[in-house]
Structure 1
């Protein structure tokens, strides 16, 4: 049943975990239902895992994990007669990602005998439409990107717009009970119903930010999701697991997570300001937050995300434990690059402009690079060679040229051939197409929902 448009005294938001498919216990959802939620909201994706999932239009989660989580949540939503909202379906929010999650949901509902109205909200964008907006001066770059070129739009395999709460609220008003959205801000999923029910924007958007990663705002994120109770003066946050705890520090600290400014966070409709927020322990496991504000923007904007193919990759990985080489591992890596570049030219006739090589030294400085404070010689090093070329065959050929070097290459002053250990056989692992993010831009829009398309599972009447 869609929430009433009458102003409520309080609104409950149940967030099972930080991402659909990450798992949670049925008991945590059962406890969440006893707290009186008005909506179940969960994110279905992220850009955290890089551009591949957007570029390829594929999910990082397995269907079995999504099906398992959806079964619990669909039954809970039906029992409580409240909406279930999933955003950024299929990891990146592509149209195929929305359809993938919808097909899983429809299969679960058929198996469980559930009759719920489903809305699919699509967020993929047509490059032709975006080029028109670009020509009209309605697209601007977000730091650190520069001005957008039309050919960049044309080069993307997929482009999504990041919706706010408005298309989700519109789908609920039109009778949807399950909302499967394309790319959306993490916070929009939890904010939609409270805003519909008359909660003030400041506490609503702040609560939505705190719950968006599930248990991340607790002292033990491994124990699952959280519940927010929003009222007209603030909100209370508590863990779903009765043994878990929220403290003022654990809640306040979540504003540091994935934000450029710990006090201000931009949404399509405006900016959340928590600079005057207070965090008070209600008891040993709940925290109340007051003083959050929301500044409505003069111009509504939709952020664009796009990815394109940069080439094809092949990977090799070998392990080195020879103490002479590990003691001079950076010299060895530089020597490997020099010898390999020469052999590629001699063997394949390719110049270094025709391909890319990345040599990563795991166990030495592969994570922090030159700023690693530990300068002591490593005991063992894993060497990953990542080759990028215009074709898969070329990338693999280059990796095969590197094979004997990654097995026996000595330092220039060594009088013997060392032996290293490849992690796999064959040593060359083809990764297929590689992608890069090329859009980090915002579009000025007249309608918050105008760039998104909603499909309902069956005819619904406007509420």
Structure 2
């Protein structure tokens, strides 16, 4: 990879997540505008702990392959690198290998020869325990001191890498970088930083383009191109009919940040207090004044998930007007009846299992924080049971089955019939997971917690 410093670097961000799709014409336009690198995020924690805990991708192989085929051909044709971060949704080692297998198939199918780097970010519990004993692991709010048992209980732990392992792979000649868990911004910041662009504009631009076209007037129409230089950066949509405005660009600093003016990365903090957003025309924005403060200690954030039990779900729907008018009383009775019948039938006390009754259409999401005014026309009732094993969870749900179908309110003189959504009503969801790590590790070098492997794709035949 040519490491010569540049006057500016153009980063093409095609979409917010690999597999989400984008119009192929937007990639062609990005290349025509002179893109120097393509960066795309392959994962997120947005959809909960299952994907890390089970090490399973959220996206389908077909969707990822479709996007990668377009991007690999574009990168190869233009002679620019392609960087994918948080492969396989959660960035586990198997997630990296899963994406790498798709890349290998595409390169062979298309007759392309590209050097591929795999950067693994999964962490070994024993090594982390050593660092914990050395006092190099620190909690982030609201969690407290990390307990060894928590680490041992995780099915998978990853460290969120910064730009440094990606830069190291590029400097070794990688044309395709497939990274494990990485900060969303690191994958877009790596190449400009390697080319000598200042950290303030680079990290700010990377933050704005992390979700592709979300900072534009039409997020569905494709990604964006950010041009980073010595004084700031310029951003424009890849779809000619979409627009970036100062408000849309500035607003993305509100997204997934505790402080809209500061954002911590492994090697320091982005500071946009003095950033100025200027419309160059009706669809392009210029940003200047971003700063980056290098930290005294480089840190890597840990993400880990563990099994909390096994879940079984059932869903019923209510349109009986009397029950709907007294839905809170009905739900309270349902909770009492389930507890009583489980104790009578299975002999289980409530600390041996748990269940949640959610009334969709009536305060299911925010509950008492945003209570409904008046009675809805219909209510969906979801019963979610969690138990130490699948059989117990399903047994509890089956005991609740007659109640979910026929439970009257205390003042009703007839037996109502409610509506199950499926037959059978009970759906076994398997193991349930929870995030249990919100901690950082002090590192001696920015790359010590990550492992990189290279391979050269060869022509098929």
How far did 1:428 drift?
0.1
Aligned to 1:363: 361
For residues 342-353 of structure 1, what are the structure 2 equivalents within 5 Å?
342-353=340-351
Aligned pairs for 1:254-269 within 5 A = 254-269=252-267
Deviations 1:432-454 (A, max 9, x none): 00000001100000100000000
Is 1:46–1:88's contact at 8 Å kept on the other side of the alignment? yes
Alignment of 1:436-447 (within 5 A): 436-447=434-445
Map of 1:29-68 to 2, 5 A cutoff?
Answer: 29-68=27-66
Q: Deviations over 1:134-176 (max 9, x none)?
A: 0000001011111000011000000000000000000000010
1:278 is matched with 276
Structure 1 CA distance for aligned equivalents of residues 4 and 68 of structure 2? 29
* Structure-1 separation of matches of 2:95 and 2:192: 26
> Unaligned regions of 5+ residues in structure 1, if any?
none
- Residue in structure 1 matched with residue 300 of structure 2 by the alignment: 302
Question: Which whole-Å deviations, capped at 9, do the CAs of 1:289-344 have from their partners, x for residues lacking one?
Answer: 00000000000000000000000000000000111111111111111000110000
* 1:272-302 C-alpha deviation (Å, 9 max, x unpaired): 0001000000111000000000000000000
Is 1:5–1:198's contact at 8 Å kept on the other side of the alignment?
no
Q: What's 1:163 paired with?
A: 161
Cα RMSD after superposing both structures: 0.8
C-alpha separation between the residues in 2 aligned to 1:356 and 1:294? 47
Shift of 1:374: 2.9
Q: CA deviation at 1:375?
A: 2.0
Give ranges in structure 2 of 5+ residues lacking alignment: none
Counterpart contact for 2:236–2:283, Cα < 8 Å: yes
CA distance in 2, matches of 1:390, 1:220: 45
Separation in 2 of the partners of 1:359 and 1:185? 36
Instruction: Indicate the residue corresponding to 2:183 in structure 1.
Output: 185
TM-score by length of 2: 0.98
After superposition, residues 1-20 of structure 1 pair within 5 angstroms as: 2=1, 4-20=2-18
* CA shift for structure 1 position 412: 0.8
* CA–CA separation in structure 1 for the residues paired with 2:359 and 2:374: 14
> Which residue among 167, 170, 178 is the counterpart of 1:172?
170
Instruction: Give the secondary-structure state (helix, strand or coil) at the position aligned to 2:303.
Output: strand
Q: For 2:167 and 2:87, how far apart are their aligned partners in 1?
A: 17
1:177-214 per-residue CA deviation (whole Å, 9 max, x = no partner) reads 00000000000000000000010000000000000000
Q: Which runs of 4+ in 1 moved over 4 A?
A: none
Candidates 445, 452, 455, aligned match of 2:453: 455
Q: Distance in 1 between matches of 2:286 and 2:54?
A: 42
Please name the residue that 1:141 is paired with: 139
2:11–2:35 contact (8 Å) kept in structure 1: yes
Rounded to whole Å, the distance in 2 between the matches of 1:371 and 1:143 is: 23
Alpha-carbon deviation of 1:458?
4.1
How far residue 376 of structure 1 moved from its aligned partner, in angstroms, is: 1.2
Partner of 2:327: 329
2:363–2:371 contact (8 Å) kept in structure 1 = no
TM-score, structure 1 normalization: 0.98
Q: Indicate conservation of the 8 Å contact 2:311/2:431, yes or no.
A: yes
CA contact (8 A) 1:10 1:199 kept: yes
Aligned to 1:74: 72
